[in-house]
Structure 1
Amino acid sequence: MDLRRLPYFVAVAEERSVGKAAERLRMAQPPLSLQIRKLESEIGTALFRRGSRGMDLTEAGQALLSRARAALALAAEGAESARAVAAGRRGRLSVGYMFVLANAVLPRLVPELRRSLPGADLEFVELSASTREARLLDRSVTVALCMPAIRHPEIQAAQIGTQPLMLALPARSPLVRLTAVPVNRLHGRPLIALPRPGEESASSAVAALLRRHQVEMPIVSRVETVHSAMSLVLAGEGLAILPACAALGAPRGIIFKPFLDATDTIEIAICWRRDVDSPLIRNFRKCAERVVARL
């Protein structure tokens, strides 16, 4: 059956007149009558009979009408769905995020995404230094909120903000009495560093800060996440230099202090596969940029 004839059939059934249906469809009456006859020929039975009030449906016509309406509605829905996906308003988006950004970004980002992309199927996945790259490459995550950006030939990164570096120390440390800590006061003190050996150095900004001030801090532990770093700081194992936003998830007993003589920052970026050109990612980026700008 030629499905293009279904709108003609529905119009005649609803108007109960070939003439009125032709006016509604903005076409001449003879071609419309021809299309109805061809449809009846394809199906093999009459769909209309002439009654006192115009064109009446036969039982076969009644059986076809409800299904024809459903088919046309489904086709319209499919077209609208395709337009929504093409415009980035609909689709599946798996959002990876690093723990350091969770408390600062997610409470604002999730409502923004729900409001801006109501048709999107959203999933949120926590990432670590050792999983973020792999989850993007195997496509189990569509886009990732990272700190810092991932450097990989198959991954695209866009900076959307920065966070200042601060010193995380236990409340019992004598440095807590200072409003801001001079970097040279860290010389010789143990450092809890991020990430683990073998990973891209998220601590490169920290290393650059210490190197510029000619300060050496022996690394006593390397961890993947800021909450692990803060736990070791709380245990008295050492100090950590972390993004300011990490303070939002700090346990009681951890104090964050700015540096007196340094304004170093670390980038916040969104990352995705280079071979994925999705308007949904572009819309996600706009939402993330608005949220991070308010941090």
Structure 2
Amino acid sequence: MIDLRQLRYFQAVAEELHFGRAAARLAIAQPALSRQIQQIEEELGTPLLRRTQRRVELLPAGALLLERSRAIQQELARTLADVRRTGAGELGKLTLGFIHSSTYGLLPSVIRRFRQLYPGIELELHEMPITAQLSGLVRGTIDLGLLRVQPGPPELEMAIVMPDPFVLAVPAKHPLAARERVRLKEVAGEPFLMFNQAEAPLLHDRVQAMCEQAGFTPEVVQRATQLHTMVGLVGGGMGVAVLPASARNLHPRQVRFLQIADKADPLHVALAWRRGHETPAIRSFRKVTEEVAAAMMP
């Protein structure tokens, strides 16, 4: 079987058309080079060169081998370069699950920056609820999840990217709209918009607990799942809502967002992946996400 070293030897002779110059180029003895070429011809069962005392000429079989040898060497060089780039997190494919609310600010900026820095990594995006992301990560149908922190399977690892504190959203003409900061008990008894527990359990349970800690049970007049739906309903005057601060990135004209004075832990946006499966591409995406998130935080 002819190996890459022998192809390199033949290529040198075929390009120089002189055994002495080829041997000097390869830094080997000329007799050794001649034996290598003879072994290649014996292996192939056909002469590749016509040798005379004055010159060396390529035969048709030799010309074909030279052409293919160059192509093999070029493809090998590209393959090795791609392997190095893949190992450095600069090449490959990454399948990302993401929550809808991340598209309001963080995710578009991350994607833009990631594609600038890592154009060799194909990014496949799937909008998915948190529970679907956790399941997809365990099954291996997605490589990485951009989600809100909540208890997950032990097979997964999570890295917090940025906090997302709660704010109170009120209609622009609400009596509290001119305030910057309120306590939740100030909206006790008002019509309340609440996240659907079945489809957004984390947000529902956190908001419900905040209201109860403030001393009241919210009088829910409408339930919804998506953040933009909640914001739209508040802007329509249907009621008030406790929302993640990322809702501000929607820039609704008919809604005011007020800080909540009550002590409450913020939500956290995080990246999640299968334990032991943090690939170079995942590390590259993590790095970009953390840098973009840090630049967005006040």
Tell me the residue number matched to 2:159.
158
Match of 1:137 in 2: 138
Q: How many angstroms does 1:51 deviate by?
A: 5.5
CA offsets 1:166-202 (integer angstroms, 9 cap, x no match): 1122223222132222221122334333353276523
Instruction: Kindly indicate whether the alpha-carbon contact (under 8 Å) linking 1:6 and 1:68 is maintained by their aligned counterparts in 2.
Output: yes
Query: Partner of 1:266 in structure 2?
Result: 267
Partner of 1:201 in structure 2? 202
Q: Structure 1 residues 118 and 150 mapped into 2: Cα distance closer, same or farther (>3 Å)?
A: farther
Equivalent residues in 2 for 1:98-137 (5 A)? 98-137=99-138
Tell me which residue corresponds to 1:16: 17
Change beyond 3 A, Cα 1:230–1:210: same
Offset from partner CA, 1:12-57 (integer Å, 9 cap, x none): 1122222322232233323322221111111111111236874221
2:44 corresponds in structure 1 to 43
How many aligned positions are there? 295
Amino acid paired to 1:242: L
Does the 8 Å contact 1:94/1:123 carry over to 2? yes
Deviation digits for residues 255-289 of structure 1, max 9, x if unmatched?
A: 22212444642111001122523111111111100
User: Structure 1, residues 197-253: CA drift from partner, whole Å, max 9, x if none?
Assistant: 276523444344334433432344443321222233334443221221211125442
Offset of 1:159 from its aligned partner? 0.6
Q: Distance in 1 between matches of 2:99 and 2:279?
A: 22
One-letter amino acid matched to 2:3? L
Contact 2:170–2:256 (CA<8 Å) still a contact in 1?
Answer: yes
1:58 CA displacement: 0.8
State whether residues 49 and 58 of structure 1, in contact with CA within 8 Å, keep that contact through their aligned partners in structure 2: yes
* 3-state SS of paired residue (1:131): helix
Number of the residue aligned with 1:290: 291
Alignment partners' CA distance in 2, 1:22 and 1:150 = 67
Partner residue, 1:3 = 3
Is the 1:149–1:269 Cα contact (8 Å) retained in structure 2? Answer: no
Name which of structure 1's ranges 65-74 and 191-200 shifts more when overlaid on structure 2.
Answer: 191-200
Evaluate the alpha carbon distance shift between residue 55 and residue 214 of structure 1 in structure 2; reply closer, same or farther with a 3 A threshold: farther
Q: Is the 8 A contact 1:148 1:202 kept in 2?
A: no
Distance change (3 Å), C-alpha of 1:138 and 1:242: same
Residue 91 of structure 1: how far off its partner (Å):
0.6
CA distance in structure 1 between the partners assigned to 2:202 and 2:262 by the alignment: 23
Q: Secondary structure at the match of 1:201?
A: helix
CA distance in 1, matches of 2:37, 2:21: 14
What SS class does the counterpart of residue 174 from structure 1 fall into? Answer: coil
Q: Percent identity?
A: 34
CA contact (8 A) 1:195 1:201 kept: no
Distance (whole Å) between structure 1 residues aligned to residue 186 and residue 109 of structure 2: 36
Name 2:190's counterpart in structure 1.
189
Q: Is the 8 A contact 2:236 2:254 kept in 1?
A: no
Output the CA distance in 1 between the equivalents of 2:196 and 2:271: 19
Q: Which amino acid aligns with 1:85?
A: T
Q: What are structure 2's unaligned runs of at least 5 residues?
A: none
Per-residue deviation, 1:113: 0.7
**Pairwise CA RMSD:** 2.4
Q: Label 1:153 to 1:104 Cα distance change in 2 as closer, same or farther (>3 A).
A: same
TM-score (norm: length of structure 2): 0.88
2:88 equivalent in structure 1: 87
Is this contact kept in 1: 2:145–2:271, CA < 8 A?
yes
